[in-house]
Structure 1
Amino acid sequence: MSDGWNESAAAWIAEIGESGDWGRNFVLDPPMLARVREGRYRNALDVGCGEGRFCRMLRAEGVTPVGVDPTEAFIERARQRDPTGDYRLGRGETLDFPDASFDLVVAYLSLIDIPDLEAAIAEMARVLRPGGALLIANLTSFFTAGGATNWSQMGASEHQFVIDRYLDERVEWASWAGLRVQNWHRPLSRYMSLLLAQGLRLTFFAEPEPTGGDPDKAAQCRRVPIYLVMEWRKPLEQTARL
């Protein structure tokens, strides 16, 4: 069964443009780039790179990126926009790279698209060098538990955010701007337990505040955090296991 991304690829490319959407521009890019600059990485793997936007941003920061995505239209578009870049068809659950290949692995709003999260996190940890970091931007589990009808009207002008079945891992269809794709809801404990099981250490966690843009979107994001950023580091002592 299709997850909707092949059918929605053209709409996504049009929606994201060159600069990205509101959430990337005004919520996620600042903390993500700050962590990249803090780490001074040489190379990076962007898992679920889409049309290559963050790979291009990584290169601008002096990092040599490789982008991987299972949607052929995205890889084609990434290569068109960045002919000298390295973009490959592939899935997070089966990364075609040797152990300890990258200083930095990035999952920028891609974990919610991956069915086998356990396999993907294990693969991301495997290709990460000891001392390197797995940098994650994701939708919060509060937000994904709300589903398509998360804002419910409570009177003439007041709305409340409603979540349900928070602990039930599930896939649901999300639709916006001509796209219809599957997104996975998982409780935060699911992510944390899988990352801890790989021996990774949490070194940064944020539910970042908006820095500008549409004031209505910013107000909603302050009421209910939509995004989170996590950095997990692979301990140096894991060298002996590789």
Structure 2
Amino acid sequence: MSDGWDDSAQAWIAALGDAGDFSRRNVLDAPMLDRLRVANAHDILDLGCGEGRFCRMAAALGARVVGIDPTAALIAHANTQGGAAYYEAKAEDLPFEDSSFDVVVSYLSLIDIPDVPAALREANRVLRPGGKLLIANLNSWTTASQSKGPPVRNSDGSQTLLMDRYLDIFPSWAEWNDIRIQNWHRPMSFYMQQLLQTGFTLAHFDEPKAVGDHAEFYNRAPYLYLMEWHNS
């Protein structure tokens, strides 16, 4: 069964462009790049790199960057833009030797990966000792409500989410701007337990505030978080 990415690839490329969407441009780009600066990494792997936008941003810091994604059309576009090495591959089966990278990045890609435990094991395998796994993800209450439709904006500026089956794990479909892709809902406890069981140690956690356009609206009901985990 398709996850929608092949059919949505061109619409995704058009929607993201060089600037990125609101979540990336106004919320996540700056703190994600700050964590990479602190890491001072020489070799970075981006899991689910899509069209390669964040790979190019990371490479601008001076690192060697590799991006992988299972969607051929996204990798083809990334290769036309350059800035990093791009491979068509799955996070659950990485085509790299052990201890190849200083940092592995998952930038809003965990919700797209069917087998997260396998992907985390692979990330740990390709990280060097003392390596870092940098994750940006949707809050689980957001993914738990996704199948119920978009948030309702109330007259006072607040939002109402219809949340269901929070403790379950299930796929649902997200649709916007001619994009229709399958995401996975998983409770926060699932991610935390899997990361701990894989051998990672939590070193940093943040729920970044938005800046710029529509920041006040987003900051009233944020839906993104950032984590940095270290391996042994």
SS of 2:210 mapped into structure 1: coil
One-letter identity of the residue aligned with 2:124: A
The residue aligned with 1:121 is: 120
Q: Indicate conservation of the 8 Å contact 2:159/2:221, yes or no.
A: no
Encode CA deviations 1:104-153: one digit per residue, 9 max, x unaligned: 00000110000111111111111111111000011111111111425246
How far residue 156 of structure 1 moved from its aligned partner, in angstroms, is: 9.6
Match of 1:232 in 2: 229
Q: Residue 67 of structure 2 contacts residue 85 of structure 2 at CA under 8 Å; is this kept in 1?
A: yes
Q: Give the conservation status (yes or no) of the 8 Å contact 1:150–1:163.
A: no
What's the offset of the Cα at 1:158? 6.4
Q: For 2:155 and 2:80, how far apart are their aligned partners in 1?
A: 49
The match for 2:91 is 92
Amino acid aligned to 2:222: P
**Once the two structures are aligned, what percentage of the paired residues are identical?**
50
Looking at structure 1, the residues matched to 120 and 157 of structure 2 have their Cα atoms a distance apart, in angstroms, of 42
Go from structure 1 to structure 2 and tell me whether the alpha carbon gap of 1:67 and 1:167 turns closer, same or farther (over 3 Å shift): same
| Correspondence for 1:238 | none
The separation in 1 between residues aligned to 2:169 and 2:178, in whole angstroms, is 26
Distance 1:155 1:27 in 2: 24
Kindly state the Cα deviation for residue 77 of structure 1 after the two structures are TM-superposed: 0.4
Distance 2:91 2:153 in 1: 38
- CA offsets 1:179-202 (integer angstroms, 9 cap, x no match): 000000100010000100111111
Task: After TM superposition, give the deviation of residue 157 of structure 1 in Å.
Answer: 7.8
Q: Hey, what does 2:218 align to over in structure 1? A: 221
* TM-score normalised by structure 2 residue count: 0.95
Query: How do residues 76-87 of structure 1 correspond to structure 2 at under 5 angstroms?
Result: 76-82=76-82, 85-87=84-86
The answer for the alignment partner of 1:188 in structure 2 is: 188
CA contact (8 A) 1:143 1:225 kept: no
- After superposition, the CA RMSD in angstroms is 1.6
Q: How much has 1:163 moved relative to structure 2?
A: 1.7
| Alignment partner, residue 66 of structure 1 | 66
2:8 alignment partner in structure 1: 8
Contact 1:43 1:63 survives alignment (8 Å):
yes
Q: What's the counterpart of residue 24 of structure 2? A: 24
Distance 2:176 2:81 in 1: 24
In structure 2, relative to structure 1, the CA distance for the partners of 1:155 and 1:227 (3 Å cut) is: closer
User: Residues 58, 159 of structure 1: CA spacing in aligned structure 2 closer, same or farther, 3 A cutoff?
Assistant: closer
Structure 1 residues not aligned, in runs of 5+: 236-242
The reply to whether residue 211 of structure 1 matches residue 211 of structure 2 is yes
| Partner amino acid, structure 2, of 1:73 | A
Residues in 2 aligned to 1:156 and 1:34: alpha-carbon distance in whole angstroms? 34
Answer yes or no: is the 8 Å Cα contact 1:203–1:233 preserved in 2. Answer: yes
Please say if residues 59 and 84 of structure 2, whose CA atoms lie closer than 8 Å, have aligned partners that are also in contact: no
Find the aligned partners of 1:155 and 1:56 in 2 and give their Cα distance.
40
Q: Would you say the 8 A contact 1:208–1:229 is kept in 2?
A: yes
- In structure 2, the CA distance between the partners of 1:177 and 1:192, relative to structure 1 (3 Å rule), is same
Provide the residue aligned with 2:199 in structure 1.
199
Deviations 1:147-186 (A, max 9, x none): 1425246679864223221101110011000000000010
Q: Which amino acid aligns with 1:229?
A: L
What letter is aligned with 1:62? Answer: G
- Secondary structure of 2:57's partner? helix
Q: CA deviation at 1:211?
A: 1.1
Structure 1 residues 229, 11: closer, same or farther in 2, change over 3 A? same
